[in-house]
Amino acid sequence: MREPMPSDTVYVCPMHRDVRLSQPGKCPHCGMALLPEGTRFGLMRHMLSSPMHIALMVAVMLALMAGLMMLMR
């Protein structure tokens, strides 16, 4: 499932909130790639929106914990 992209997306620098462009590009201050406004929490929402993503995260965490326990034995 894909969220409809609003046509009037504003691209912002993660570090500089005053940088707002109407098209993707790089921040004139730090050169970081600009992100569409709202992605910071959009990614989290996206991860939580799909049970498959949550299962994947749990599986990775379990694998990491199992590996740690094997190492500490």
* CB-nearest residue to Zn ion: 27
> Which residue number, 21 or 46, has a Cβ lying nearer to Zn ion?
21
Task: Supply 26's token pair.
Answer: 């790089």
Alpha-carbon distance 35 to 39, whole Å?
7
Among 3, 20, 24, 30, binds Zn ion (CB under 5 A): 30
CA distance 1 to 43: 14
User: Residue from 10, 15, 33, 63 that binds Zn ion (CB under 5 A)?
Assistant: 15
Cβ burial of 71 (10 Å; 0-12, 13-18, 19+) is: exposed
Least Å distance, CB 4 to Zn ion, is: 28
- Residues near Zn ion (CB under 5 A) are 13, 15-16, 27, 29-30
